[in-house]
Amino acid sequence: MSEVAGERAGEGVVEVRPGRTIAWTAVGDGPPLLLLNGYAATGADWDPVFLGGLAAHFRVITPDNVGLGRSTLADGEAVGGAAGMTVDSIALLDALGIERAAVVGWSMGGFVAQSVAREAPGRVAALGLISTHPGGADTVDAAPGVFGVLIDHSGTPREQATRLLSLLFPPDRAAEADERFGDLVAAARAVLPEPVLFMQEETIVDWHNRPSSLPVLDPPVPTAIVHGGSDTVVPPGNAEALARFHPGATVTVLPDCAHAPMAQEPGAVAEAIIAAAGA
């Protein structure tokens, strides 16, 4: 593994193995926090107010998931599901010389955060789980058809952006979000490699269809579980489902938020994570 063109704050690229690299950026100056994004998103896509709230307390490291953004995937290589991205995350911590970090994940990134906490428990100082679920039979399922809307590749990037924003924001705010951010989301969507998106979709399905429950996190770490009360992608009942596997977790349900609460109530989501981490 190697780190290229990176200092304590700024950016760099970690080579996990030949052809597979993880690019990262960092903001803030404090205890490290690894912030893992979800399906079809890169490290550049975080809400700036949310990121700034965390960066006031932590050195926030935002990687691009493998195959997206500046992170690369060798020809013929697979993402490897949540397990593969977990290995990537631990390798990134190793390359940056970070022994322990708060690990926060949104949606699919939450699958990886849960896995890091179980594969390398000594490396996780605190855990933040935003709009995610435990997988398997413990998952509270979305209504039929919602996942199909999320992964619909049809239409122009601008049409795809409108569909995505209709899931990330509640109905009374989706049109405004589309007007404000739709062109930016479309531009980002247009450059995403479709084969990697297909592999991420497999990751989501495989996590959902886990054959067994997660082990209860033992010993527990301070954990913040944050969910939107109007989330149709990962329904809010998943917050309590997650809490059963994370003893002592604080659960925050923001009633007016959908699947992206950190873009709707960034201060509240950041504060929940900061409080859990004791920062």
Residues 6+ apart with CB under 8 A from 98: 32, 34, 61, 123
The structure's pTM equals 0.95
**Pairing of β 59-63 and β 20-27:** antiparallel
Q: Is the pLDDT at 193 greater than 60, yes or no?
A: yes
Q: Is the pLDDT at 7 greater than 50, yes or no?
A: no
- For the chain, domain boundaries: 2-277
Fill in the DSSP letter of residue 138. G
With 0-12 / 13-18 / 19 or more C-beta atoms within 10 angstroms meaning exposed / middle / buried, residue 155 is exposed
Question: Which residue in 72, 146, 125, 117 sits closest to 242, CA to CA?
Answer: 117
Which residues are registered as beta bridge partners of 251?
225
Question: Which residue in 62, 42, 59, 35 sits closest to 116, CA to CA?
Answer: 35
- Give kind and range of the element (H or E) at residue 28: none
pLDDT score, position 5: 37
How confident is the model over 245-266, as pLDDT tens digits?
Answer: 999 999 999 999 999 999 999 9
User: Which parts of 96-170 fold into alpha helices (H)?
Assistant: 108-119, 146-150, 157-168
Question: Do 23 and 13 contact (CB within 8 A), yes or no?
Answer: yes
How confident is the model over 199-239, as pLDDT tens digits?
Answer: 999 999 999 999 999 999 999 999 999 999 999 999 999 99
pLDDT score, position 223: 98
pLDDT score, position 278: 86
pLDDT score, position 260: 98
How confident is the model over 118-177, as pLDDT tens digits?
Answer: 999 999 999 999 999 999 999 999 999 999 999 999 999 999 999 999 999 999 999 999
Confirm or reject CATH 3.40.50.1820 for domain 2-277, answering yes or no. yes
